[in-house]
Chain A
Amino acid sequence: AQKVTQAQTEISVVEKEDVTLDCVYETRDTTYYLFWYKQPPSGELVFLIRRNSFDEQNEISGRYSWNFQKSTSSFNFTITASQVVDSAVYFCALTRNTGNQFYFGTGTSLTVIP
């Protein structure tokens, strides 16, 4: 069975602080994809990143970075120098290569305080 756990329900940080959102996943598949989505107060799901299970390289995109570690089944997301606009709910998700549905974590609500 597939499962994604985001243990942090809510996080508050002061603007310009760094923050890491944790994601732990479970799957027995060797091929799978991991995702992060942002859901701002407006409600849409904004795609942030996709990684496949064979690519453990960490990725940096501006203030965002992702740390994928298969050894610990984790795919953590760090926001550097947080801004108020980063306030949102962030979802980690997993899809199987041939299962075609998303398994979402329960989301982490991030509030950045000015």
Chain B
Amino acid sequence: DTAVSQTPKYLVTQMGNDKSIKCEQNLGHDTMYWYKQDSKKFLKIMFSYNNKELIINETVPNRFSPKSPDKAHLNLHINSLELGDSAVYFCASTWGLSGYGYTFGSGTRLTVV
């Protein structure tokens, strides 16, 4: 009964490949996010969707494309992977546009070789 689940937990892939990370939440939240944690542990928001609509799109290469088929899912597709994309990616969800009640997934460690 995991609240926010991400798959896969680990992903190792070669440069140039295309990969996807999936996120699902069963909390009934209507807002979902992707955060990136770099090698120095710095956490920064990438995208935010509210009711399937993109509301935050930080300065992220357009090789990264989020897709929200419904309120419970937010997937992250990455094209033409580069070494610098290696990081831990966290999905999160909350209710509404308030900063209250965030829940994070357990993270996906992406390694590009």
Contact = CB atoms under 8 A, between A and B. Distances in A.
A44 B51 CA distance: 26
Nearest to A39: B41
Given A44-B107, A95-B102, A106 B97 contact: no
Nearest to B43: A104
B27 to A, nearest CB: 13
Q: What range describes how many residues of A lie at the interface?
A: 20 to 34
Interface residues of B, number: 28
Interface of B is mostly: strand
B31, B56, B104, B109: most-surrounded residue (chain A CB, <10 A): B104
Contacts of A96: 99
A43 B106 contact: yes
Contacts of A37: 104
Contacts of B43: 91, 102, 104, 107
Interface string B33-65: 101000011111100101000011000000000
